[in-house]
């Protein structure tokens, strides 16, 4: 019978090493969800503030999932390059509508 060899990343010891990190992220996600629910019951002065807080918490949760479960925390150079490219395209898309304001001339400015 042929014996199969496992690489270092597939060994049970390596899996157990990552398991603790997975449990910690799982508990953090549960806590952040509880915080989101708690914030929804607060009587904040504006609805926009409540939405902003919920979006910040959701962004932290998404970052945890992407970094740990998708193993993106180990991909430093590639992640930074994609992040910078995404930010540049985002700024470009935000700037595009400002270019169309000047196309119509002063006749449309007052309407």
Which runs of consecutive H residues, i.e. helices, occur in the chain?
12-41, 47-64, 76-100
Q: Mind listing the pLDDT tens digit of every residue in the chain (111 residues)?
A: 444 444 445 778 777 777 888 999 999 999 999 999 998 888 888 888 888 899 999 999 998 998 888 877 777 788 788 888 999 999 999 888 777 766 555 555 555
Structure confidence at residue 103 (pLDDT): 59
pTM of the model: 0.60
Please state the domain extents for the chain.
20-97
Quick check: helix, strand or coil at residue 10?
helix
Q: Which of 79, 73, 63, 52 is nearest to 29 (CA)?
A: 63
């Amino acid at each position: 019978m042929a014996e199969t060899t496992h690489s270092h990343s597939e060994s049970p010891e390596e899996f157990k090493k990552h398991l603790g990190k997975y449990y910690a992220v799982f508990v953090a996600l549960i806590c952040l969800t509880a915080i989101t629910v708690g914030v929804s019951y607060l009587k904040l002065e504006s609805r926009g503030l409540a939405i902003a807080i919920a979006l910040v918490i959701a962004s932290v949760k998404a970052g945890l999932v992407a970094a740990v479960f998708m193993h993106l925390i180990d991909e430093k150079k590639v992640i930074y390059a994609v992040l910078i490219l995404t930010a540049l395209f985002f700024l470009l898309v935000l700037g595009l509508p400002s270019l169309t304001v000047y196309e119509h001339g002063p006749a449309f400015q007052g309407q």
